[in-house]
Amino acid sequence: MTHIAATEIATAALHLMRAGQWSTATNLLNAATTDDATERATLALALAEVTVDQDFGRQTDHASAALTAAGALLDGSWDLALLTLRKDYATALFQAGESDLRTRALALIEEAPDDAHRGAAYFWAGTIADNVYEQPTEAVDHYTAALELGEKTDDKLLIAQALRHLGYHAHAARDLALARTQWERSAELLQEVGHLRPTLAQQTMLATLLRDEGDAEGSRALATEINRWARQLDVPFIIQETADLMA
């Protein structure tokens, strides 16, 4: 029998997740077995993250069972609480309900064990303020805090996420030059860390920007390529957004 550290398996699974290979990542984690309680908790937390990401992209529900299983091994875990918040945010965004998301997000900011975790909590607090409670000023404040902490900790994914959402607000304010700067940097960082789904979502925003800058042909061409990728990944909201740009 081959023995591989649980942390290595979890890392491999998260790289597969970022590539949009959710089923392969899940199969890898489910195939790993260990009698060590710490390693079992590591694998369970990784599976929860994979399924939360999958559910957000595909609007499915694989994470509920994974979160429950992880909860039995990780009572009081900050990381698990953030993943649960992310799952509930997706439910509120695509279906209904809110479960007092703002209060929970703010608590995670206060309870974060370090700047890297605090930055992630600020980012998700921003998305919740933005898309669930429709509080753009509060959202921008949270995104700005997330960006600062991302830069402080050299967390490229967090920087990319914060810039993407700050760029949305620059675009809404018709500051197209700032939006382009933020969105291009976000896309570059997302590509660098190999996270395909948000890269496609970010490129969709760039296609929208091309349209608003008057380059309808360029916008349609970029949207067409993104749409092909999104269909391969089966990510409904990107498929729809790019189809609208292609029309």
What would the pLDDT profile of 90-126 be if each residue is shown by its tens digit? 999 988 766 799 999 999 999 999 999 999 999 999 9
pLDDT, position 168: 98
pLDDT band at 129 (very low <50, low <70, confident <90, very high): very high
Residue 169 is assigned to a structural domain of this protein? no
Containing domain of residue 14, as a range? 1-75
Task: Note the pLDDT of residue 96.
Answer: 72
Give the residue, 189 or 76, on which the prediction is more confident: 189
The residue among 57, 75, 93 that closes a domain is 75
pLDDT tens-place string over residues 10-56? 999 999 999 999 999 999 999 999 999 999 999 999 999 999 999 99
Q: Is the pLDDT of residue 68 over 90?
A: yes
Q: Render pLDDT for 175-187 as a digit per residue (tens, 0 to 9).
A: 999 999 999 999 9
Domain count, the chain: 2
CA distance 88 to 22: 19
Q: Is residue 28 domain-resident?
A: yes
Question: Which of 152, 161, 145, 244 minimizes the C-alpha distance to 195?
Answer: 161
Query: Which residues 6+ apart lie within 8 Å of 202 measured at CB?
Result: 160, 164, 183, 186, 187, 190
